[in-house]
A = this chain, B = another copy of it.
């Protein structure tokens, strides 16, 4: 048949599977979001509606991919953590990256009108309560997979993102206070903050603007953590239903099906809490649970 003659071109599709037993993080990032923030007059330093839109999109992604054990978001980025034993899409790198990032993009675009509404007191708009119309270029997100071989390193990855959130937020909060309430030009504000430490910024906020950084909303300081909450009664024996490597092939299919349903029914929560300390993880042992004997 005509098509077999050209079918050899398939041989150029090379395998890109991620090695087993690695936690897979798909991190998505807003493309050209500094411009988008300007175009839609996002509130500075944080636009709560936009963050809640990000979170709503993330919740849908987590809901849809039951092998995502946790997601962490801040600013225009979100990290989705797939369990180290996931076999989704045979762990193909591009398939995972594009499936997650297109779903996130679709959710972000479609949910936009639910969140991006003109708020009271927003002097830029005459009519409060009206949806802010989305225009081209539509918001999109690129994405990439990173494999982390150990739970400990995955947690360091998440610490890295949350520390980054804190650092940026403290800087931005100070910067925009200086600019808006200083008032000062952006360039001057930048110079002013150059080389300052965390405590210097805290001091500037408090002494000049009466702002207590610690009292700032947690969503700004900590970012957002999305996960399945099974409450107290976690009954799967502590491994979240994850079979080990060895069993992967055999696998009790009916048990896996039962587990999948349990995940689909679970309540998905969004919290703005510290994930750097151990407390969060100790209280929710199922999130990064691995099969007994594979604690690593």
Q: Which residues of A contact B (CB under 8 A)?
A: 1-3, 5-17, 19-22, 28, 31, 60, 64, 93-95, 97-99, 101-107, 109-110, 134, 136-153, 156-157, 159-160, 163-164, 166-167, 245-246, 248-249, 293-296
Contacts and interface: CB of A to CB of B under 8 A. Distances in A.
Contacts of A16: 93
Contacts of A8: 20, 156, 245-246, 248-249
Given A2-B167, A3-B167, A64-B137, A102 B12 contact: no
Contacts of A17: 14-15
A98 B105 CA distance: 10
A22 B18 CA distance: 13
Contact of A98 (B3, B5, B139, B142): B142
Nearest to A112: B110
A101 B98 contact: yes
20 contacts: A1-B167, A3-B160, A12-B147, A12-B148, A12-B157, A13-B144, A14-B19, A19-B149, A21-B149, A94-B143, A94-B144, A98-B98, A102-B102, A102-B104, A102-B143, A105-B106, A106-B140, A149-B150, A152-B296, A295-B296
Given A6-B160, A95-B144, 15 more contacts: A6-B159, A8-B20, A12-B21, A12-B147, A12-B153, A12-B157, A21-B149, A97-B98, A98-B98, A98-B141, A102-B102, A102-B143, A105-B105, A106-B106, A106-B139
A113 to B, nearest CB: 12
A44 to B, nearest CB: 22
A95 B138 contact: no
Contacts of A248: 8
Contacts of A141: 98, 102
A7 to B, nearest CB: 6
A95 B97 CA distance: 9
Contacts of A110: 109, 134, 138
Contact of A138 (B103, B160, B163): B103
B11 A14 contact: no
A156 B6 contact: yes
A40 to B, nearest CB: 15
A97 B95 CA distance: 9
A75 B134 CA distance: 28
A285 to B, nearest CB: 17
Contacts of A21: 12, 149-150, 153
A101 to B, nearest CB: 5
B145 A94 contact: yes
Nearest to A28: B98
Given A94-B94, A106-B140, A245-B153, A163 B2 contact: yes
A94 B148 CA distance: 17
Given A107-B138, A137-B64, A98 B143 contact: yes
